[in-house]
Structure formats: structure tokens, C-alpha cells
Structure 1
Amino acid sequence: MDAHPTERRDFLKQLTALGAAGVVAGLRPAYARAGEAQGRSAMFELKVTEVEFRRTSAGRQLMARVYQPQGVGPFPTVLDLHGGAWRRKDRFAEEPMDRAIAASGVLVVAIDLRLSEEAPYPASVQDANYGVRWLKSRAADWNGDPSKIGVYGSSSGGHVAQLLGMRPRDARYNAIALPAAPQLDATVAYVTTRSPISDTYARFQQAERMKRASMIENNKIYFNPWETIHEGNPQEILERREPVSLVPMLIMQGALDDNVLPAVQEKFAATYRAAGGVCELTVFENSEHEWVAKPGPQTDRAREMVKAFNARQLKV
């Protein structure tokens, strides 16, 4: 159902008055229209559906949850990657954020990732890489625009999102074939994150200092063999000056987070900028690692920040 029926009727009347030539002259890319819609805080009704996007070698279904705005479209598209210390959670983890982004006029698709006890690094990044290619091939089915896909990731999902953005063509991450569309790659237009694990080894050291056995164990299960904690470390990738894609990136960080310290994000953002990338970092006062899971002004602010960042990228 169109959320703006009056505007829609007025728009159609204007098109009729313009005639064919005026229509052609007035056409603009879908992402430009969507960016403007987000800028005026448009609200769209949503249709939420579920579909299998991949089946693992062990036979587990990895599902996608699709938040589809009901309107003219086509809508810009975002892939959501869940957190959970690489070991827990699923596509439902960020549902309130996903709904908020989608209601602003964005097709949001949240996917399951393999968990560390199923398969260690780089399995979840492979799933995300495949997810981007799969979504590019399917976005039009849900009135989405596949030409400029963004990614949102939280905590360990933020780590996966950073690697996905920086290494879209890495052979290790491209390991899962998409026979239906072999020509597609996993490049993305931008990355938005909340409390990402931007420096995996620094986070492990923090867990040791805090004597947090579960955090230590989570790292050791995911990064197996252990040296991959350095190979798959976004901070160290930049410090090694590897050739990477430097897509625009947003990092939202809690000032009271003792899981991933604010100083870690400050260092990563500075290194990313020094390498030539755009990285916006905002520290939320009085906020811990998962503050967006709780209703409140800072959660509302985070949602608006993601929507505004997305809109700016769509206008570029």
C-alpha cells in the first residue's frame, strides 16, 4: 500500500501535464529519489517475508528476513549482518533497527550467518560475501535497486561488514559460487556499523585484561587457526597497507563500552582516513556495547544517524 497516496496522485497529475518529453527530462535515479525521501523523514508501511538464501554443506538453512517498503520504488538496498560474538544470534538480532531503516524507504534484508562452532573464520564473511551477490541478483524481486547496496553490521557483524567492504573480491571470501549470477561481485557502496570489532587482537587483549573467559573463548573458537586473528583484523589490514576498497564507513560507538573500547574505534577511524577513506565516528555518551537494544533517546539518535548516513551516500 502506498504510504503517500495524495502525493502519488499529485505526482501522476504532474506527469500527465508534462507529457512524454517532460517525463523523460524529469527522471532521476532511484537512489536520488530515495535519498530525498529519507531526508524528509518519509515513513513507509512494510511487508516482512522470509526466504532461504543459502543451505550450508551440513544442510542447515540460512534464512533471509526481508523488510520491503510498500511504495513506488525501486528502493535502495541494505544487507544487515548480525552480531553475537561470531557464536550466537541470527537475522532477528537487529529487527528494531532494520524496521526503522526500512520504514524510511530502504529495502533491508537481514541474513543468518554461520556461527563459529559450525565453521570458524572466514565462514561468516563468506556468507556475507555470498549474501551481497545473492541480494544483487534478487533485489528487484522486492522492488529494490541492486545498483548501490549498503551494509549494516553490529559488533561481530560490524567486523564482518568491515572485511566485506574492504575485501569484496578476496578469493577466500568469494569461495561460495552463485551459479545463477556468476558475473556479480560483492562490492558495496558503503558500510554502517554499531560497536564493530575493528581490531580483533586488541579486543582479545581487552578480554584477557578483564578476565572474561567467555570473550576469550569466543575469539579462540572463531579464529582457528589462531593466526587468523591477525590476518582477518581490519586494523592490521590497514597497517599492513594491503590494497583494499575504502568505501564510506560509519562507526557508532558507546562511550562506556568495555567490550570494544572507544580508543580502538578512534585508532581505526584515523588509520582508515589516513589510507584515503571516509570514516565517520560518533561516540554515544552513557552508552555501553549494545545500547541500541534498549529503547531510549540514544537508540533513536542511532537510528536517525544511520538513516542520514545512508541518505548522504545515495546522493553521491
Structure 2
Amino acid sequence: MAPHTPDDILVEDIAYQRQGDAPLLLRLYRPRGPGPFPLLAEVHGGAWCRGDRLDEDRLNCALAARGIVVAALDFRMPPQAAYPASLADINLAVRWLKAQAATWGCDAAGLGLMGLSSGAHQAMLTAMRPHDPRYAALPLEGGEGLDARAAFAVLCWPVIDPLGRYRYAREWQDSGRPVPETIGRVLPDHLRYWGGEDAMAEGNPVLALERGEAVALPPVLVLQGDADLVHPRAQLERFAQAYGRAGGEIALQWFEGEAEGFVNKKPDAPSTARAIDAIAHFVHQRSGSTVPAP
């Protein structure tokens, strides 16, 4: 399957659920044609409290141009709702996408999750706990036999240890050193979403593995810049070690000299092109579709 061009992409906004009188939307990016195409649910970042389905428009268009159907999700955030409401929305969105997959030329069983920063945390937690009763609490009419299991996960600079990152940010703030704007901003966002450290420890992929929880372990690709100060490298490496010990397959790709969010901040950089190609190759491979030619 040859890569698609941007002219071959269809983009539309679709309501996948309603909360009261307000719809929750996803933006669907899909290549024209019958498929088969991989299906990828994308979870935006923003420290759990900011952002929307439009944040990764450039990235999602690039992936759709490479023959992938991408669904960028809106979900509830503070002040509307805190943890675990967003996980319930994402879990429902995954089930809804599986119910619709065939209409877009996709195989529901090959659906994967992708997230960025706090979205990567939520994507990974959804993938690890697809049957958690809190996360699966929202019913899907006509989809009673569907669950939120993911065939794979792509994590872009994840907040993989929310408690560890919160304490890291507090220590930096208390040290008297100049605090990067991004570090100072995440502290109140942690508390708005989580409420306190107990929840940060409970909804924590690293600690879930170290506690020996029975979790799903789909194949994982992680991308991160080695100059990222917002997502501590040691926490990610600790997660990778725990994931491997539990029997999961995980690959880490480091991008030399790049800071957090480099794919969005430097759209024309060679590192961004390499990152997008790596994601596309992994998605095609793990979804079971034909990998596009380079």
C-alpha cells in the first residue's frame, strides 16, 4: 500500500456520546478508499486539564496521509470532571470506534491507542485496564459485546508516573532554581485532575505494574526527546523495565537534543519526520495491515 497524499484525506467531526445536553466529539481523519486501514484512537495532552481534539491536527493529518484512520478524542476535563471521568470517556470512545470500524474499512480487533504527554498516560492506562469497572461504566447502546482492549499503544513523551512527576515538579519548585514555565504550570493541573497523591498513585501505570496488578500488556512504542525536562527519563525507563518484566513488549525511541512536544513545536524538523514515520510503521505493523512503502 503506497502512502496517501493529504488530498486523499476526509475529515469530519462526530459525536460519540452525550453528557447532559453537550455532545462529546471526535475528529475523524481517514484516507479515501475501501481500505483495509488501521484504526488509531488519539488522546490529546494538556496536563489532563487543557486542550481538545484539534491539538494534534498536523500529526493526525500526516498519519492519515500514511494510510491510517485516526480518531482524535474530546473527553471531560476539570472543572467539568476529574479522574476517572476522562478514562470512562476514552473507554467508551474505543468501544464506539470498534462498533463503527467496518464502515471505514477498518478491523475493530486491530484498533490501537496513541497519546501525547498526559494523553499518553491516559492511553496507556486505558490499554492496561480495558475492563476496569470505573473506566467501562458508560454503556454503549448496541455494543454490549465490545470492550476497550487495544491491539497496541503509541506513547509520545508520556506522563507515565503521575505521582513521580508531581513530586519531581514540586522538588524543582522548592529548590530555588529557575523553574521552566511548563514545570510550574503542571503542579496545579495535577491537583485539579487527581485531587491528591493517593489518586496519582492509584491511576499510575508504573506503580500498577510494580504492585503486580493483572493488566493487559499490548505492544508499546514510546517516543521522547532526550532533552525533555517535563517528562523525566528515569520514570519512563522504570516503566519500560517493569513492563518488560511483566511480559510486555515495549520499544523506546529517543530523539537526540529534542525537548518535550518537539513534533508539534518543530513540524519541519528531520526528527519530526522520523517520529511520524516510526509511528506509522509501528501502527501498520501491529494492526496487521500492510506496511506502506517509504
TM-score of the superposition, structure 1-length normalised? 0.84
In the TM superposition, 1:189-200 aligns within 5 A as 189-200=151-162
Checking the alignment, whether the CA contact within 8 Å between 1:137 and 1:146 is kept in structure 2 is yes
2:272 pairs, out of 287, 293, 299, with: 299
2:243 counterpart residue number:
272
What is the CA deviation profile of residues 231-268 of structure 1, one whole-angstrom value per residue up to 9, with x for unaligned ones?
A: 00100000001000000001101111111112211111
Query: Take 1:133 and 1:218, find their aligned partners in 2: how far apart are those partners?
Result: 28
TM-score of the superposition, structure 2-length normalised? 0.90
What is the CA deviation profile of residues 203-240 of structure 1, one whole-angstrom value per residue up to 9, with x for unaligned ones?
A: 10121122244211111111125411110010000000
What is the CA deviation profile of residues 34-58 of structure 1, one whole-angstrom value per residue up to 9, with x for unaligned ones?
A: xxx2xx545471011111111124x
Greater relative contact order (CA < 8 Å, ≥ 6 in sequence): 2
2:202 pairs, out of 221, 226, 231, with: 231
Checking the alignment, whether the CA contact within 8 Å between 2:159 and 2:165 is kept in structure 1 is yes
Query: Take 2:154 and 2:12, find their aligned partners in 1: how far apart are those partners?
Result: 23
Larger Rg: 1
Query: Take 2:240 and 2:127, find their aligned partners in 1: how far apart are those partners?
Result: 14
Structure 1 residue 145 displacement after superposition: 2.4
In the TM superposition, 1:128-147 aligns within 5 A as 128-147=90-109
Query: Take 1:113 and 1:72, find their aligned partners in 2: how far apart are those partners?
Result: 29
Checking the alignment, whether the CA contact within 8 Å between 2:112 and 2:287 is kept in structure 1 is no
Structure 1 residue 95 displacement after superposition: 1.1
Residues 1:221 and 2:192 are matched in the alignment: yes
* Local SS of the residue matching 1:202: helix
Task: Give me the identity figure in percent.
Answer: 37
What is the CA deviation profile of residues 15-65 of structure 1, one whole-angstrom value per residue up to 9, with x for unaligned ones?
A: xxxxxxxxxxxxxxxxxxxxxx2xx545471011111111124x3321111
Residues 1:308 and 2:265 are matched in the alignment: no
List alignment gaps of at least 5 residues for structure 2.
174-182, 290-294
In the TM superposition, 1:170-181 aligns within 5 A as 170-181=132-143
List alignment gaps of at least 5 residues for structure 1.
1-36
What is the CA deviation profile of residues 98-140 of structure 1, one whole-angstrom value per residue up to 9, with x for unaligned ones?
A: 1111111111111101112211111111111001000011122
Which deviates more, 112-121 or 40-49? 40-49
In the TM superposition, 1:94-173 aligns within 5 A as 94-173=56-135
2:177 counterpart residue number:
none
**Runs of 4+ residues over 6 Å off in structure 1:** none
Checking the alignment, whether the CA contact within 8 Å between 2:169 and 2:187 is kept in structure 1 is yes
Checking the alignment, whether the CA contact within 8 Å between 2:34 and 2:104 is kept in structure 1 is no
What is the CA deviation profile of residues 249-303 of structure 1, one whole-angstrom value per residue up to 9, with x for unaligned ones?
A: 0110111111111221111111101110001111111111111102111111110
Query: Take 1:178 and 1:108, find their aligned partners in 2: how far apart are those partners?
Result: 20
Structure 1 residue 312 displacement after superposition: 2.0
Residues 1:263 and 2:238 are matched in the alignment: no
Query: Take 1:277 and 1:196, find their aligned partners in 2: how far apart are those partners?
Result: 17
* Local SS of the residue matching 1:243: coil
